[in-house]
Structure 1
Amino acid sequence: MVLFNPILILILAAILCMLFWVKPQIQKIITISAIFLFFASAVRLTYLVTTEGIQTVQAGEWPSPFGITFVADTFSALMVLVTSLVSVACIIYALENIDKSRKAKGFYPIFLFMIFGVTGAFLTGDVFNLYVWFEVMLVSSFVLISLGSGKAQLEGSVKYVILNFLASCFFLVGVGLLYKITGTLNMAALSVKIKEVEEPGMITLSALFFFLSFGIKAALFPLFFWLPASYHTPPLAISGLMAGLLTKVGVYAMIRFFTLIFTHDTAFTHQLLLIVAGLTMLVGVLGAIAHNDFRKILSFHIISQIGYMIMGLALFTPLALAGAIFYIIHHIIVKTNLFLISGLTKSINGSFQIKSNGGIYDYFPLISVLFVVAAFSLAGIPPLSGFWAKFILVKAGMEIHQEVIVGISLLVGLLTLFSMTKIWTAVFWAKGTKKLEMLVSSENHFQNSFLKEKYLMIIPVIFLAMITLWIGFFPNLLLDLAIQASDQLIQPDDYINAVLKRN
């Protein structure tokens, strides 16, 4: 039942919010309570998985592989835990950042439904049900992007949904092929039966369809164009959550499938992944350098950082997979925080254009320090969390003599630092705008009043920055969990035995 708790909490809270549709204040209380309960249940689930082993539940008590299976191994439990962490931060931020009209139009239940879809995707043990969870997540995120009906939001949401609809079509074709050649869609059963298939070409074809589907959802090269066109349009509480989480669901699914199911021809599939990882890193960081909109720069950095995670999968060693998992957890926290920080600078200067900003360091040193923590971590500066993530991947690459991808990853790290320095110089270090200087001169306590008024936006940023610092200075706990998760992925016998109830 512990495995079901995170899912049950979210869906029950979403239904309760729907019952109080005309009372946003009650919805707010329900949502905040549910998110904190979700966090507590995620902590408990992670503890249970790491101490007692992989947990499974069969919905309706139908035996596997015939029923709907839910599975929590270390990897999926960690993903649920980090989802709960950023959900706590974003819902607190949303109390100030989301306007009353959006709250009245269903922001709270839709927010819960999106987290519900993400959590279900991490815990499902069935391929078709993964498709269902993807669709729950897609519909909810589409509504959140378009909520408010601004022109930019509608344009961004249309691009988002069209590309993700295409990903769903590829997914269904892959599902059909898998079922045709194996007769099952249970992931554990697939791992066993696919080894008995005498048509490796059909397996590879199915793998390519899943690669295209997950590649779109994860924003891999050359399938990433929807992301920078949509993630910069909604309010920052929504953008931050989506930037941190949604692409990682695609990465999670790709790691799960290409370690548990599609391991028949790693010389082809994982070499393809390695090439795509390198191109994704390069194109993403070059896109970030080319832009001057704070959120668009961050959006392109999502793309480049996804390349590092896929690099870990493509190298396909225990250390590389551990590095990929460490990188995912670090990046979800850091990227969410950077989007939330961009919202704070917008509240001060009224623009996301970095050339129209300035003066943040002079008047708001706390916000400047919080940006430095997140930005330096993204760039991989020691001893922050991003340094350890990149160090593990570089070490894994050097161990198997993959110098080219290691070189690309180091180059992209330097370019990321350059891009973050560009933001720092324009937004934080440069002289304040005339508007900001007039506000400061006309209000003696402008800085203090801003910090008091926007405390609900500042507290989540501090919270996420503290987690980043904790991971950076004390990386051993997360590294040990990442290694445990990696071992389970590389040697999936425990996963298979837990699901199929084999001794």
Structure 2
Amino acid sequence: MAVGTAETVDLSGAMVLAPAPLADWVVVAPVAIPIIFGAFLLMIRHETRLHATIAIVGLLTTLAFNAALLARVLDQGPVVMTMGGWLPPFGISFAADALGASFSFAATLVAVVGAVYAITDIGSVGRRYGFYPFMMLMMAGVGGSFLTGDIFNLYVWFEVFLISSFGMLVLGSERPQLDGTMKYAILNLIGTTFFLIATALLYGAFGTLNMADIVRKADGLRGTAPLMTLAVFYLLAFGMKAAAFPVHFWLPASYHTPRIVTAALFGGVLTKVGVYALLRTEVMLFSPEREVLSGLIGWVAAATMIVGIMGALAQTDIRRVLGFVVISGVGVMLAGLALGTMEGVAGTVFYAFHSMVVMSALYLLAGVMNGIGGTYTLRTLSGLYASHPLVAVFAFLLMLSVAGLPPASGLWPKIMLVEASIEAGSPWLAFAILATGLLTTLALGRVFLLAIWRPAIEKAVPSPTSPTIGYVALGALAVPTLLMGLYPEPFISVAEHAAAGLLDASVYIGSVFPEGVVP
């Protein structure tokens, strides 16, 4: 009988044999915590009265870990963990740099405020149908999108938040919600299909899906692999996700249909995931290809700005107005992508921080106005200044911010983008940004004059709920809005840190592939 000889297999070339330091687990916490809390909410699905409190606790915990992660990234550089102990690129990596960590923090901050506002906006039926579990799953997908270091898992996390967003959109099963969900689902699935096709082509060309590994290998494959095709596919896929012209039409067709807190989360957060993905792929992975496409991206940016804000001027429903303002803001962010310079990319990152907070606040403000006046239409909504002057204060601040006027948050990123456009020899792009600011002032000034300043033209139906929670939510978002406007230096510093990491990925690569690890 033959006896096998035991052999010692050296796994050090493929696996990390030492346990991961406890501090490194902070990179997966923004994803794991929402999943855990969402699962717990499903377990107690019959105790819906507890859902809001548990979700808020979960999101606050996530926000605390996001803050710790961002502080560590800014102090020590990117934080990386590869799943299963495998060395990259064999294992699936989470890689948090300044861009991903800051976006994840801002998105979670908005989600906390949204969860508080949902206490009054989501009734017992909505809670029973799973609003808070869907919300937690959505934030897990958003956090995973911002923190993954693997481009296929970027696709996976996109699917996670898309599936949960379908549930949030259709909540209530009313005809407009079903119609909006169908448009949202079909057009987003088309974008997802382009994303998946591009990722399949990328894997065939590179033999890897790890983003740091792709950057390392790109120069050697530039003459043989279809990198321009990949850059165009990703531009189309993520442009659709971000609602850029001419693939923007799904957003105004769907964002006015759900509960207002859902629209606030979508308008504030989800479109920024598309912008983030564009920055990650076009600036970090395919920078030379982006330079070739910069003229096209610039014209798409200008068209998105103008078409978006012209659409806002034509609307009478406040929710539709805000949907087009979201689109216009995406165009402003695409301007920095087109420029591809340090100041341009930093301006886009800073504008994304501003847009997450302010667009969410504007949707919540619309919800408060509807609660007081009983309608979203500018034809009848009026007299809010006389009855609720605090609404006028919030509305005026947010209008200034979106228009890029002092002292609110929209001023500084627009200045950065205008200066970057002029320095890059694209004054027409600077003109588009400034013209969009003027038209935004007119569009939201019209809302202010008709809904708030105009004397009441008919008696409002008394709201069954107090606007107190709405005021709390608006106040919580007004603080960072003013802080970004009055004290912009820390936000500019984070944005520049994020831009530097995209334009020079050597530190990011070194964090994913430590010295001596060359697969």
User: Counterpart in 1 of 2:21?
Assistant: none
Counting helix residues as a fraction of each chain, which structure ranks higher?
1
Q: How does 1:5-404 map to 2 (within 5 A)?
A: 5-199=29-223, 202-404=226-428
- The answer to whether the aligner puts 1:455 opposite 2:479 as a matched pair is no
Q: Which range moved further: 39-48 or 327-336?
A: 39-48
User: Counterpart in 2 of 1:442?
Assistant: none
User: Counterpart in 1 of 2:500?
Assistant: 487
Q: Aligned partners of 1:485, 1:434: CA distance in 2, in Å?
A: 50
Report the residue type matching 1:477 in the other structure. Answer: P
Q: Aligned partners of 1:332, 1:109: CA distance in 2, in Å?
A: 22
Answer whether contact 2:227 2:289 (CA < 8 A) is retained.
Answer: no
SS in 2 for 1:435: coil
Answer whether contact 2:117 2:469 (CA < 8 A) is retained.
Answer: yes
SS in 2 for 1:70: strand
TM-score, normalization by structure 2:
0.93
Deviations along 1:90-147, whole A, 9 cap, x unmatched? Answer: 0000001111101011111111000110010000000110000000011100110001
SS in 1 for 2:27: coil
Report the residue type matching 1:107 in the other structure. Answer: F
SS in 2 for 1:184: coil
User: Counterpart in 2 of 1:443?
Assistant: none
Uncovered stretches (5+) of structure 2, i.e. residues with no partner: 1-24
User: Counterpart in 1 of 2:486?
Assistant: 473
Answer whether contact 1:35 1:87 (CA < 8 A) is retained.
Answer: yes
Count of residue correspondences: 492
Q: Aligned partners of 1:62, 1:500: CA distance in 2, in Å?
A: 12
Report the residue type matching 1:10 in the other structure. Answer: P
User: Taking structure 1 as reference, are residues 399 and 244 closer, same or farther at Cα in structure 2, changes over 3 Å only?
Assistant: same
Answer whether contact 1:349 1:433 (CA < 8 A) is retained.
Answer: no
Distance apart, 1:502 and its partner CA: 3.2
Deviations along 1:140-182, whole A, 9 cap, x unmatched? Answer: 0011000110000000000000001101110111011111111
User: Taking structure 1 as reference, are residues 379 and 198 closer, same or farther at Cα in structure 2, changes over 3 Å only?
Assistant: closer
Q: Aligned partners of 2:57, 2:356: CA distance in 1, in Å?
A: 22
Q: Aligned partners of 1:76, 1:266: CA distance in 2, in Å?
A: 20
- The answer to whether the aligner puts 1:433 opposite 2:446 as a matched pair is no
Q: Aligned partners of 1:382, 1:14: CA distance in 2, in Å?
A: 40
Q: Aligned partners of 1:160, 1:502: CA distance in 2, in Å?
A: 45
Report the residue type matching 2:493 in the other structure. Answer: D
User: Counterpart in 1 of 2:435?
Assistant: 411
Q: Percent identity?
A: 36
2:477 pairs with one of 457, 460, 464: 464
Answer whether contact 2:59 2:111 (CA < 8 A) is retained.
Answer: yes
Q: Aligned partners of 2:390, 2:302: CA distance in 1, in Å?
A: 36
Report the residue type matching 2:413 in the other structure. Answer: A
User: Taking structure 1 as reference, are residues 463 and 330 closer, same or farther at Cα in structure 2, changes over 3 Å only?
Assistant: same
Runs of 4+ displaced beyond 6 Å: none
Answer whether contact 2:142 2:158 (CA < 8 A) is retained.
Answer: yes
TM-score, normalization by structure 1:
0.96
SS in 2 for 1:71: strand
SS in 1 for 2:379: helix
User: Taking structure 1 as reference, are residues 34 and 198 closer, same or farther at Cα in structure 2, changes over 3 Å only?
Assistant: closer
Q: Aligned partners of 1:235, 1:195: CA distance in 2, in Å?
A: 47
Answer whether contact 2:283 2:290 (CA < 8 A) is retained.
Answer: no
SS in 2 for 1:21: coil
Deviations along 1:20-39, whole A, 9 cap, x unmatched? Answer: 11111233332121011011
Answer whether contact 1:334 1:468 (CA < 8 A) is retained.
Answer: yes
Distance apart, 1:268 and its partner CA: 2.1
- The answer to whether the aligner puts 1:4 opposite 2:23 as a matched pair is no
- The answer to whether the aligner puts 1:500 opposite 2:507 as a matched pair is no
Answer whether contact 1:57 1:71 (CA < 8 A) is retained.
Answer: yes
Q: Aligned partners of 1:23, 1:383: CA distance in 2, in Å?
A: 44
Answer whether contact 2:191 2:238 (CA < 8 A) is retained.
Answer: yes
Distance apart, 1:273 and its partner CA: 1.2
Deviations along 1:348-397, whole A, 9 cap, x unmatched? Answer: 11111112111111111111101111111000112211011100100111
SS in 1 for 2:410: helix
Q: Aligned partners of 2:515, 2:118: CA distance in 1, in Å?
A: 46
Q: Aligned partners of 1:274, 1:483: CA distance in 2, in Å?
A: 21
Answer whether contact 1:97 1:457 (CA < 8 A) is retained.
Answer: no
Answer whether contact 1:118 1:249 (CA < 8 A) is retained.
Answer: yes
Distance apart, 1:274 and its partner CA: 1.0
Question: Root-mean-square deviation (CA), in Å?
Answer: 1.4
Distance apart, 1:198 and its partner CA: 4.5
SS in 1 for 2:81: strand
Distance apart, 1:200 and its partner CA: 5.7
